Amino acid sequence: MDYYKNRTLTFNNVNIVEGYSVAGPKENDGRYKGFFDLALKDDMFGQNTFERAERKMFEHAIEGVIAKANLVDADINGIVGGDLLNQIVSMSFAARKHNVGFLGLYNACATFVESLIVGSTLVSCGYENVVCTAGSHFSTAERQYRYPLELGVLRSPVTQWTATGVGATIVSNNSEQIVPKVTRATVGHVVDYGIMDVNNMGAAMAPSACDTLVTFFKDTGTRPEDYDVIYTGDLGKLGSDILLDLTRQEGYDISAQQHDCGASLYWDEQQTYQGGSGAACSALVFNAVLLGRLRRGEYSKILLAGTGALMSPTTSFQGDSIPAITHLVEVCI
């Protein structure tokens, strides 16, 4: 891979003061049952469309994280984030409930880590508190990106299952307590290895994850063993295997540290094949699982590398391959 040393940012005072997660029923039947702040009993969430249910999850996550941090809207300077729907409407419509600055983001399933990076820059530029958020919904994504649910299309064994959930995190330049901090970040670049199979996104994203991880290690002079864990976003099981091979070729063995948010989300019996995908994977696992382990001292230094596939149905119909991107944050306590 080509390496340019100019993409890693350092932050001095970005405190992660609170996290909140809203998970779908299948997600709360998975490996992290009971970890979520709110687990839905059904994925309609009392709404008349799946899209409105997704929006309501965002509304709950944003309100939830602000209340959990003992803050009110007037304390919040900005909300940054996005989702997988066209024109990121779940995020945008949820944001209208708050008289707070809003920056809409889209980097597919890497959007949650993108939101942490943009939130960290805003906090470094003077905003006191910023809500960083992202999420996805199986039923809205399935009908927008693939087939009508009613069609009952058989799934390929290399597919993943779009996770239903929203995670929200408040980053702040003002914290009286010792909390986890976003200390460094590497903004990913777009990597395209010509993968055309939209059912095999793990393979399309693995080279990008390798690129960003290796760039971060070189930029900072760190090694995989400096970290307790390295969580990728939603490579799935197959994509994770490819990533381990690719990083090994670059001289970094991450097999002892690497986990994948998507691959870890469900039990095998839940038949998601390669595991979860979607912007919810890293948003849920970070807010519901990793943040708690950092606070309790189980981890002191972690990397979270959000992975995203940047195609649309239109580009696939027009014969284009799948570009991918991976953004990374280092979180320490």
Q: Which residues bind a copy of itself (CB under 8 A)?
A: 2, 4, 6-7, 9-11, 49, 51-52, 73-74, 76-78, 82, 85-89, 92-93, 95-96, 98-108, 114, 117-118, 120-122, 124-128, 186-192, 310-315, 318, 320, 323, 325, 327
Distance (Å, whole) CA 134 – CA 281 = 9
Joined tokens for residue 281: 């994977």
72 exposure class (CB count in 10 Å sphere: 0-12, 13-18, 19+)? exposed
291 exposure class (CB count in 10 Å sphere: 0-12, 13-18, 19+)? buried
Name the nearest CA neighbour of 160 among 201, 207, 109. 201
CB nearer to a copy of itself: give 70 or 99.
Answer: 99
Site of tokens 């979607």: 278
Measured in degrees and rounded to the nearest 5, phi and psi for residue 42 equal -140, 155
Distance (Å, whole) CA 328 – CA 317 = 30
CB of 100 to a copy of itself, least distance (A): 6
CB nearer to a copy of itself: give 85 or 209.
Answer: 85
CB of 300 to a copy of itself, least distance (A): 24
Name the nearest CA neighbour of 37 among 58, 26, 21, 50. 21
CB of 152 to a copy of itself, least distance (A): 22
What is the CB neighbour count within 10 angstroms for residue 32?
Answer: 20
CB of 103 to a copy of itself, least distance (A): 6
CB of 90 to a copy of itself, least distance (A): 10
CB nearer to a copy of itself: give 264 or 282.
Answer: 282
CB nearer to a copy of itself: give 26 or 60.
Answer: 60
CB of 16 to a copy of itself, least distance (A): 17
CB of 125 to a copy of itself, least distance (A): 5
CB of 256 to a copy of itself, least distance (A): 28
Distance (Å, whole) CA 253 – CA 8 = 21
Distance (Å, whole) CA 153 – CA 173 = 48
CB nearer to a copy of itself: give 34 or 319.
Answer: 319
Name the nearest CA neighbour of 260 among 270, 245, 249, 275. 275
Torsion over CA: 278, 282, 287, 290 (sign): positive
Distance (Å, whole) CA 181 – CA 11 = 9
